[in-house]
Amino acid sequence: MIRFEHVSAYYEKGVPVIRDVTFSVAKGESVGLIGANGAGKTTLMRAMLGLTLHQGTITVDGVEVTGKTLPEIRKKLGFVLQNSDNQMFMPTVYEDMAFGPMNYGLSRQETDTRVDEVLERLGLEELKHRHNHKLSGGEKRMAAIATVLAMEPETILMDEPTSALDPCNRRLVIRTVRELPQTKLITSHDLDMIWDTCDRVILLSGGAIAADGPAEVILRDRELLERNRMELPLRLAGL
């Protein structure tokens, strides 16, 4: 579903944030992308969406990411931003969820059906006509996920989906993410969340891949994590 081949990504020409990265993600995989601050996690995701300059080859479902293919690529990828305020820009949850499908040509009736199906699946029916500025942090995060799902992407990218959430809302987001059938690539410093939602982990350090393997193996490797300025998940810290 996703393939990076010798990819370097830049915010400014000549200053790579990602350096010569190669990996692939199979359809249906749930992959955690971890690393210390500045490791390049968000940059890697933004490169997939054509939001940063890159060299090398990035393909999504067999389509190479180029300037000409970005509309097609962005239909395949749903991006849940770390800050939901940067994602929810319409007055109500319904209007945010309807904006993308209608922009892609769905009728009002088709859009309403899709919105209702997503809200029912997530148990968020009561949020449909709520104003975004009146939502709690957890409600807004869930609404942002619903907005992405209304687009029916084949792959979902999530940037720190549990950051700044209270324990109850954090559990709700984790349960929701775990049940999503799409291919998922998730960045997070919350390694317990990665443990709960991902089968595989890619560890970035200094813009390069330091490790790539089963989540249970990498997240138990205290020496590897500490060498890359990270710590064991809290549930394993005493083991």
- Comparing 33-37, 63-67, 169-173, 223-227, the range with the smallest average pLDDT is 169-173
On whether residue 143 sits in a domain, the answer given is no
Question: Is 199 among the domain residues?
Answer: yes
Return the structure tokens found at 25: 């993600």
Instruction: Give the pLDDT band of residue 82 (cuts 50, 70, 90).
Output: confident
Residue 238, pLDDT > 80, answer: no
Tell me the mean pLDDT in the region 147-163: 93
Least confident of 77-81, 107-111, 135-139, 216-220: 135-139
User: Comparing C-alpha atoms, which of 227, 195, 201 is closest to residue 214?
Assistant: 201
d(C-alpha 39, C-alpha 58), whole Å:
19
Q: Number of folded domains in the chain?
A: 1
Q: What CA–CA distance (Å, rounded) separates 79 from 97?
A: 13
Mean per-residue pLDDT for 30-34? 97
Looking at the domain assignment, is residue 141 inside a domain?
Answer: no
Percent of the chain at pLDDT above 90?
77
Q: Are 168 and 138 in contact (CB under 8 A)?
A: yes
- What is the residue range of 19's domain? 2-83+155-236
In a domain, 15, yes or no: yes
Would residue 12 count as lying in a domain?
A: yes
Confidence of residue 55 (pLDDT cuts 50, 70, 90): very high
Q: Which amino acid is at 42?
A: T
198 part of a folded domain: yes
In the sheet that holds 63-64, the strands lie side by side as: 15-25, 2-12, 53-60, 63-64
Domain containing residue 64: CATH number: 3.40.50.300
Write the secondary structure of 24-88 as one string of H (helix), E (strand) and C (coil).
EECCCCEEEEECCCCCCHHHHHHHHCCCCEEEEEEEECCEECCCCCHHHHHHHEEEECCCHHHCC
In a domain, 88, yes or no: no
User: Looking at the domain assignment, is residue 106 inside a domain?
Assistant: no
Instruction: Render 111-176 in DSSP notation, one character per residue.
Output: HHHHHHHHHHHHT-GGGTT-BGGGS-HHHHHHHHHHHHHTT--SEEEEESTTTT--HHHHHHHHHH
Burial of 224 (C-beta count, 10 Å sphere; 0-12/13-18/19+): middle
What's the pLDDT score for residue 239?
54
Average pLDDT over all residues of the chain: 93
> Residue range 111-121: average pLDDT?
94
Averaged pLDDT for residues 66-80 = 93
Give 176-235 pLDDT, tens digit per residue.
899 999 999 999 999 999 999 999 999 999 999 999 999 999 999 999 999 999 999 988
Q: Is 182 exposed, middle or buried (0-12, 13-18, 19+ CB in 10 A)?
A: middle
